[in-house]
Amino acid sequence: MLLQSLKRNGRIQSLNSRLLIKLNSQNSNNINTQQQFKRSYCDRIKSDNNNKNEPSLNSTSVSNLSIATRQQLYMIDSNSPGSPFFLPHGTRIFNKLIKFMKLQQEKQGFTEVISPLIFKKDLWEKSGHWENYKEDMFKVESNDLSKLHEDEQNTIFGLKPMNCPGHCLIFDRFTRSHNELPVRFSDWSSLHRNEASGALTGLTRVRRFHQDDGHIFCTNEQIGDEISKTLKLIKLCYNTFGFKDNNYKMMLSTRPEESYIGNLEDWNKAEDQLREVLDLNAGEGNWLVRDGDGAFYGPKIDILLTDNFGKEHQVATIQLDFQLPKRFELKYQDANDSLSTPILIHRAIFGSVERFFALLIDHYNGKWPFWLSPRQAVIIPINQSHVEFANGRLSELKGEQINYEFDKPSNLTGYNFHIDIDSRNETVGFRTKDAIQKGYNYIILVGDKEVEADKLAIRSRDDRKIKVMESSEILKMFKSLEDSYN
Ligand SMILES: [Zn+2]
């Protein structure tokens, strides 16, 4: 349905026709329906679940599941349906994704916050979730009510499905001046949404997930610059993961014809800024419009990413919000010393980290690039007499961050590579094949010749050609691969 509204040139907007639409600018009573609320605040990670017309990631594909199983990346257990367990090697990838994004976001001026997982019911009433999204939330109650006040407002909590209300509380706690805007908060909290049990699948249809969530509180004039920075970050991020510019498309969703809040002037100004920014970043004519498909509280930009198999996935989203700051009565002191309401921008680059993870499994087909790989190299001593030498090289190759002096603290910065040793009593052929199966990027062999020359024989996952190198040269190569995101 959404895609039907697209025209080939992507520019089907008619501002004049929109001006004819009768406006009901401040009346949100009949428009703030549950459906719209879900479609807007919650749609960015739910398109796989709810909208059958949206392209979706088939994480149940045999290849995705078999790679995850073979490499022991994550598991699902009936004791907590829809909440993935990341296994040690999956956790390495997950943490690397977060580390990568934290650094990039900091460059854009984001500061990370840690906010509560449960909030009292009245907060969710204020944000509109209790009225419109209750069935999709988990209610939290104490078993021992004597520890709590007895009225319902103080005994019933909701497990958060998103971070925005919590970030509004942080913004509101301090007096804000226009000089400090934009204020940008990022948050890596786990979020919970009560998806139907029948729909739960792998990493894409889940109840518990994480977002690279960020909220920007800014003035109307700052919208363009903030969106532009976000689009640049999206490009930088996707290029780093090997997606070319033509692997993703940007789509502007504009004001719904009837059901929206806020005044027309704000909407037009905001949409004009988004168009300008899209022209600047994607190039004129290189982005599409979903006419009338914006959230009821503001226009948005969605990014669709095409994977190696031609499947499209909705990942990043940038949503303007005129509504939530009003609900929370957020204010800042403007240049004229009066109090103004900031605009809120919700944005995520990965979207759901779990879903992006699943997408990457497909995208790389299990062949993780070295920098992201949970198994970067394995050392195979040919027989037991080579184990001691191999262990010595292992500690060198792991990098300086992991030092083996147990009574000294490890460095906070530096390199830390995931290198294993396989000294099982199996043939070299068997262990090499096993290493390739598990996805090690490099296989390092140690025999008599290597011990004698104090060198290592190394081959990559995809190339049988063996090179003889000193361990210092290999370490240098590993550092260079990580530095260049290869
Ligand atoms: Zn948000």
pLDDT digits (tens, 9 = 90+) for 243-262: 988 888 999 999 988 877 77
Active site residue 213: yes
Task: Report the alpha-carbon distance of residue 411 to residue 400 in Å, rounded.
Answer: 7
Q: Is the pLDDT of residue 479 over 80?
A: yes
> What's the average model confidence in pLDDT over 280-306?
90
- How far, in Å, is the centroid of ligand 1 from the Cα of 472? 47
What one-letter code names the amino acid at 471? S
Give the pLDDT of residue 88. 98
Q: Which amino acid is at 426?
A: E
Residue 356: what pLDDT?
Answer: 94
For range 204-213, the mean pLDDT: 94
Dihedral sign computed on CA atoms, order 239, 243, 249, 253: negative
- 14-28, 197-211, 274-288, 374-388: lowest mean pLDDT where? 14-28
Banded model confidence at residue 202, pLDDT cuts 50, 70, 90: confident
Per the CB < 8 A criterion, the answer to whether 279 and 30 are in contact is no
Known catalytic membership, residue 346? yes
Ligand 1 centroid distance, CA of 10 (Å): 27
Band of residue 154 on the pLDDT scale cut at 50, 70, 90? confident
Which of 271, 272, 275, 266 shows the shortest CA–CA distance to 322?
266
CA separation for the pair 397, 421 (Å, rounded) = 11
Catalytic residue among 36, 105, 129, 164: 164
CA distance 155 to 147: 9
In the set 18, 346, 418, 438, the catalytic residue is: 346
Residues 39, 300, 347, 438: which is the catalytic one? 300
Closest of 13, 44, 11 to residue 303, by C-alpha: 44
CA of 113 to the centre of ligand 1 (A): 14
| pLDDT for res 83 | 95
Q: How far is the CA of 347 from the centre of ligand 1 (A)?
A: 7
**pLDDT-above-90 percentage for the chain:** 64
pLDDT on residue 240:
96
Q: Tell me, yes or no, if 192 is annotated catalytic.
A: no
Catalytic, 164? Answer: yes
Higher pLDDT, 15 or 90: 90
In the predicted structure, residue 474 carries a pLDDT above the cut 50: yes
- Segment 446-461 mean pLDDT: 97
**167 Cα–ligand 1 center, Å:** 9
Question: How sure is the predictor about 298, in pLDDT bands with cuts at 50, 70 and 90?
Answer: confident
pLDDT exceeds cutoff 50 at 476: yes
CA distance linking residue 182 with residue 137, whole number of Å: 30
149-158, 313-322, 408-417, range with the lowest pLDDT: 149-158
Q: Angle 62-70/353-364 helices, nearest 10 degrees?
A: 100
pLDDT at 152: 65
Please tell me the distance from the alpha carbon of residue 290 to that of residue 250, in angstroms, as a whole number.
10
Pairing of strands 287-290, 248-253: parallel
Identify the pLDDT of residue 176: 97
